[in-house]
Amino acid sequence: MKKIAVFASGSGSNFQAIIDVVQSGELKADISLLVCDKPGAFAVDRANAARIPSFAFSAKDYPSKDAYEAEILAELKKRGVEFIVLAGYMRLIGPTLLREFQGRIVNIHPSLLPAFPGKDAIGQALEAKATWSGVTIHFVDEGMDTGPIIVQERVRLEEDETRESLQNKIHAVEHKLYPAILQVLLTQGGIVNGKKASTY
């Protein structure tokens, strides 16, 4: 079974969706660690409830990204983590982690990239009065939401769409799509859309 780490910054509903499929046996993976950059985040409570070890840190306690990522890397190595799943982790991954995990880090983003990258993709879609937005799962590179795309799913915005209603629709898609794609990446030889994931 592949050992994975989930990185989150907030409520961790995607983290929970992954915990649920692991616990039900639908996803054969071992969630070895939660990494969280907000020690008070609800994601940490979810890890505790599921008896998953967590490493929570505050970036401001470190002199640099390299410094806190070196500590994260040590935690990952200690636990033999092979794959990183970003689930609402609101920080760019730096060279320290990328060097070791390139091609083995995935992210989920609440828009159809390359539209609406970065922070508050949902607010950006509403502001732009877009008819369509959605969800993208992609491999992580050094850019902001720029890595090779694995899968996208559209979500339609209605005339009276609110932040809350769009958030709910996007979460509903994410909670199904992320576990399904992780299943493929982690247990089915990494073939996505007929293409070996490692070649993306």
Which listed residue (109, 138, 171, 175) is catalytic?
109
Q: Does 193 count as an annotated binding residue?
A: no
Per residue, what are the HEC states of 90-154?
A: CCCCCHHHHHHHCCCEEEEECCCCCCCCCCCHHHHHHHCCCCEEEEEEEECCCCCCCCCEEEEEE
Backbone angles phi, psi at 113, to 5 degrees: -60, 145
109 as an active site residue: the answer is: yes
What CA–CA distance (Å, rounded) separates 6 from 19?
A: 10
Candidate residues 174, 179, 186, 197; the one interacting with ligand GAR per rule CB under 6 A:
174
Number of residues that bind ligand GAR (CB under 6 A): 14
What CA–CA distance (Å, rounded) separates 20 from 23?
A: 5
136 binds ligand GAR (CB under 6 A): no
The nearest distance, CB 8 to ligand GAR, in angstroms, is: 6
Q: Which residue's CB is nearer to ligand GAR, number 19 or number 197?
A: 19
Candidate residues 108, 140, 149, 185; the one interacting with ligand GAR per rule CB under 6 A:
108
The nearest distance, CB 111 to ligand GAR, in angstroms, is: 8
10 binds ligand GAR (CB under 6 A): yes
- DSSP β-ladder status, 2-8 and 149-156: unpaired
50 binds ligand GAR (CB under 6 A): no
Report the interface residues with ligand GAR, using CB under 6 A: 8, 10-14, 87-88, 108-110, 121, 170, 174
- Catalytic machinery residues: 109
